[in-house]
Structure 1
Amino acid sequence: MKRILNNARLILADDTLERGALEIDNGVIVAIHSRPLSAPPPHSEDLNGDDLLPGLVEVHTDNLEKHLMPRNGVLWPTLPAVVAHDAQCVAAGITTVLDALSVGDLEGDSVRLDTLQSAFEAIDAGMRQRVFRAEHLFHLRCELAYPQLLDALSPLIGHPAVRLVSLMDHTPGQRQYRDLAQYKKYYAKKNVSWNDDTFLAAVEQRKLKQRQYAGRHRQAVVELARARGVALASHDDTELSHIDEAVRDGVAMSEFPTTLAAARAARDQGLMTVMGAPNIVRGGSHSGNVAALELAGHGLLDILSSDYVPASLLHAAYLLGRQPGWNLHRAIATVTRNPARAVGLADRGAVALGQRADLVQARERDGIPLVRQVWSAGQRVF
């Protein structure tokens, strides 16, 4: 179906056209006009000068978990939960979603453990039945110290929609949880009650599991991903040794580095750096780690992820575009082209000829971008 989107500010990969038009045919961008069409045909739509940018590409979202368990102890039917998650993502301008499913958890009683298989199957069913508005892919987050990791991972990693595998180690005393007081505080918010003795016992138990499993699990997961050509990400890199380890494993992305030194080392070694969009919107890390805007100021930020708030992705990109040394088209690339290329998606992420017509119409109000329309492969989905 042919479509013309006229009179829009076009956010291109390397520039911004203050007024222009796009032509779409069979879900692909076939022409870019540097001026609005003065006599547009009947199948055109006037966007009234709003921004027109690529559909957002989300590489790491935990948002589904909130729909699977909308209240503590309440599990929601899985496919309806995924459909609600999909609608929320599209309303935020996200047209490609890598659902981050945790394979393993250090908590014995965990919604992640309880829902992994059912969530994977529901997403797969939704893909086959074409019930989603966005395109969904898989990001498998592998908890390396989880004893049953390989048994849980093996039946999932061969799915053709698996695009990313991340190597996680949430053992207390290192990486994200190098500060044990912060670790205890975090789990207190999740209604985990420890006294001093039980807390220290839990920490020692988790460190023991790390010694028993993390090393050999890392090697096995890396080999499985390599054999299938799936991109790898490291997680919560803190020390320079973490980056060295990631490079040896063939990792492409450093997700949420916790220190400036780790982010610098990642850049020096050619890794792309992923930071959380909520970190930018809130003005810093909720865990007390390095701020995303600090990395941006040093030129060390490549990709933003909405993590647990889909609406944060576009908001953060617009905030980033106003930072010194940045502009809007460079900031938009952190939520479109850069994440797409990082997971091997060459057909989307840019307003350019031959690209999929995954598009977002947005208008700023009081500094906040409001999503007005969304197209996936040229079809309006919001």
Structure 2
Amino acid sequence: MSEVLHLANARLVLTEDVVTGQIVIVDGQITRIEEGDHVPRGAVDCEGDFVMPGLVELHTDNLERHIEPRPKVDWPHLSALLAHDAELASTGITTVFDALRVGSIHSAKTGYGAYARKLADELLDARAAGHFKISHFLHLRAEICSETLLEEMAAFGPKDRVGIVSLMDHTPGQRQFRDLTALKNYVTKKRGMNNVEFAEHVANLKRLQAQFGARHETGAVAEARRYGAVLASHDDTTADQVDTSAANGVGFAEFPTTREAAAACRSHGIAVMMGAPNLVRGGSHSGNVAARELAEAEMLNIISSDYVPSALLLSAFLLADIWDNMPAAVACVTQNPAKAAGLSDRGRLETGLRGDVIRVRTVGNTPLLRGVWSQGDRVA
């Protein structure tokens, strides 16, 4: 017998409109969408709640937080993976690209070692065994300012189905951390550095960028092509940096730090992704451009939960208020990220697509998640 999910009397968030209707999912696939408030026998009465596609997350640090819940605390990985998966499901995320850092630093007290290959193997094994509630893909964060980037990337290949490679350059004094005071506050709190150690850390990163930066960027772009992955830029600040990203074949821009960079992305046809915490808080914690400013200027295409999974759904409703356009807002956390990552089978309520859907009621301006289904199976 076919597994059937039938949600009725719902406000369906379609690509261009919100309509009252019903949706039927059979064996994990959307098979029927109809307008009207009728509740057929056996259907779930959604009582006017929103029903929209499951959220698609392209860049989250959440897995790393579960793997290392405190500095230098290595949590059992399968337990961490399952907890991460369950947490995302509980926030309405049904597709995630788990961001794993590649590129390590061994030459300083503030360095860090490689972990991505081992963790990726564990993640892929758990996925193959059917342990996850939601759909997981790999996202490699290529740290240009490191010692071992190309060696670590060489350990991955097309069989790993790496979905995204993002080009990261966290050299102090530029991009996200143009303001060294903001960097110092972040790093000293996270790693407990004193002033001398922080100065040594900054000097070492600048040395690494000068020594390896150009070769690592060129190599990372080549590796992304070898994998068949979508390439993303990260923290572009100037129009010149965006020009370089465009020349590298970047598909979307993660967290451009200035309006200038966002405008340059738009001129190149590069989708702009901003962080949900930035939108929720009303500004960047690093002092960079506000997501709301880009939204109001119609230069925002994708939202990422970044470091707060629950912020992704909340950001969609904030955007709906800013734009007075629920379908456009929801597209920023569903259709647009799916398209940017090359996924054509999800992100929209359409017949023939995956049955990844969520049911949402609002309490004031706050979304209350009332159900999450991945391929028609309830996961939260």
TM-score using structure 2 length: 0.95
**1:365 equivalenced with 2:363 (yes/no):** yes
Aligned positions of 1:276-287 closer than 5 A: 276-287=275-286
In structure 1, what is the Cα distance between the partners aligned to 2:79 and 2:273?
30
AA aligned to 2:371 is Q
Counterpart check, 1:321 vs 2:320: yes
Root mean square deviation of aligned Cα: 1.7
Aligned counterparts of 1:109 and 1:137: Cα–Cα separation in 2: 32
Where 2:201 maps in the other structure, the secondary structure is helix
Task: Decide which moves more: 92-101 or 68-77.
Answer: 68-77
Give the match for residue 254 of structure 1.
Answer: 253
1:136 aligns with 2:117: no
Aligned length: 377
Give 2:375's aligned residue: 377
- Letter aligned with residue 245 of structure 2: A
Please show how residues 95-174 of structure 1 align to structure 2 within 5 Å: 95-105=94-104, 113=113, 115-174=115-174
Which residue number corresponds to residue 208 of structure 1? 207
Work out the CA distance in 2 between the residues paired with 1:106 and 1:317: 37
Aligned amino acid, residue 165 of structure 1: V
CA distance in 2 between partners of 1:89 and 1:65 (Å): 13
Structure 1 counterpart of 2:271: 272
Deviation at 1:153, TM superposition (A): 1.2
Q: Gaps (5+ residues) in structure 2?
A: none
Measure how far apart 1:277 and its partner are: 0.4
Alignment partners' CA distance in 1, 2:9 and 2:156: 45
Distance 2:182 2:159 in 1: 37
The 8 Å contact of residues 146 and 213 in structure 1, kept in 2 or not, is answered as yes
2:179 is matched with: 179
Structure 2 distance, partners of 1:48, 1:106, is: 54
Whole-Å separation in 2 of the counterparts to 1:53 and 1:64:
25
Q: TM-score, normalised by structure 1?
A: 0.95
Distance 1:29 1:269 in 2: 35
Displacement of 1:203 in angstroms is 2.0
Cα separation, partners in 2 of 1:380 and 1:33, compared to 1, 3 Å = same
User: What amino acid maps onto 2:209 in structure 1?
Assistant: Q
Q: CA deviation at 1:114?
A: 5.3
Look up the equivalent residue of 1:131 and give its one-letter code: H
Q: Could you say which residue in structure 1 is the equivalent of 2:218?
A: 219
| Structure 2 match to 1:336 | 334
Deviation (angstroms), 1:156: 2.2
Aligned-residue offset at 1:37: 2.8
Q: Residue type matched to 1:117 in 2? A: R
Paired with 1:344 and 1:185, the residues of 2 have a C-alpha distance of 37
1:37 matched to 2:35: no
Q: Displacement of 1:67 after TM fit?
A: 1.0
Separation (CA, whole Å) in 1 of partners of 2:64 and 2:307: 9
Q: Using the TM superposition, give the Cα deviation of residue 339 of structure 1 relative to its aligned residue in structure 2, in angstroms.
A: 0.3
The CA distance in 2 between the partners of 1:238 and 1:12, in whole Å, is 34
User: Does residue 346 of structure 2 align to residue 348 of structure 1?
Assistant: yes
Cα 1:50/1:110, change in 2 over 3 Å? farther
Superposed CA offset, 1:231-283 (max 9, x none): 00000000111101101100011100000000000111110001000111111
Code of the residue aligned with 2:30 in structure 1: it is I
Contact 1:101/1:112 (<8 A) preserved: no
Aligned counterpart, 1:300:
299
Q: 1:347-369, CA deviations, whole angstroms, 9 ceiling, x for partnerless residues?
A: 00001121111000111112111
Residues 102-111 or 325-334, more deviating: 102-111
Paired with 1:350 and 1:123, the residues of 2 have a C-alpha distance of: 26
Q: How much identity, in percent, do the aligned residues show?
A: 45
* Partner SS, residue 232 of structure 1: strand
